[in-house]
Amino acid sequence: MAAEPNYRPDLALVHHLGFGFHADLCAPGVLALLEPVRARRGLVVELGCGSGLLTRHLVEAGHRVLATDASPAMLELARTTAPDAEVRRLALPDDAIPECDAVVSTGHVLNYLPDEPSLDRALTAAARALRPGGVLALDVCDLRWGEARRGSPSYSRVEDDWAIVTRFSLPRRDLFVREITTLLRARDGTWRRSVERHENVLTDTSRLPELLGDEGVDAEVRPAFGAEALPEGLVAVVGVRRATR
């Protein structure tokens, strides 16, 4: 039996309600990078769109967007959040990424893959999907992400109708684990509990420009997409496909 995807309905909803700040933070920088794509009305493929929080910014800026995610619950939310985007299920690294003029992603989507070879396969697929002049803009957790959070205390947040508690661990230098418990209030006033375990593979991001360069994408690792301040250990990988493939 295939494993259930991360972000099942309860956690997907809690993430949507309480954690849209990262997409809002990154949107101005991502949109600036995509301006040449918008000008020629190119297709933007968003990987790991979640509930459509960045998707909404892309559509409102005039982009033609294909928003993808592996979580059916997230896709259901995205269809409501960004109704003018095309929304489709796509599970990396095996599902094909359509040919496009930009590939974007926020929320360290590639780090949710099971291991570094899978992350590399997905990144290679994204590079190969780009048309000449196409833009790549995504964020990735470096090895520093885990080191910066070693021994971090649990995180908790309580709102009127939901609550979340997250415990962190670093079993290996390249593996960051979140054990997430959510509580949602039902209409009758009772609370429903749900638990997920998220494992994030971490990587030395300094090696990614060479990997992308071998696929015809001139890329660099940056501290941010634009003027935003990303959390420690999270970097932006930004590149452009060369004019000839």
CA angle 55, 57, 62 (to 5 degrees): 95
Q: Among the listed ranges 1-5, 39-43, 77-81, which one has the minimum average pLDDT value?
A: 1-5
Question: Is-contact 139 106, C-beta < 8 A?
Answer: yes
SS (H, E, C) 180-209: EEEEEECCCCCEEEEEEEEEEECECHHHHH
Summarize pLDDT for 157-207 with one digit per residue, the tens.
999 999 999 999 999 999 999 999 999 999 899 999 999 999 999 999 999
CATH topology of domain 145-201: N-terminal domain of TfIIb (2.20.25)
Summarize pLDDT for 1-29 with one digit per residue, the tens.
346 779 999 999 999 999 999 999 999 99
pTM: 0.95
Question: 9-143+203-241 maps to which CATH number?
Answer: 3.40.50.150
Domain ranges of the chain: 9-143+203-241, 145-201
Report the pLDDT value the prediction gives residue 61, as an integer from 0 to 100.
97
Report the pLDDT value the prediction gives residue 245, as an integer from 0 to 100.
53
Report the pLDDT value the prediction gives residue 3, as an integer from 0 to 100.
62
170-200 core/surface letters (b: 16 or more CB in 10 A; e: else): beeebebeeebbbbbeeeeeeeeebebeebb
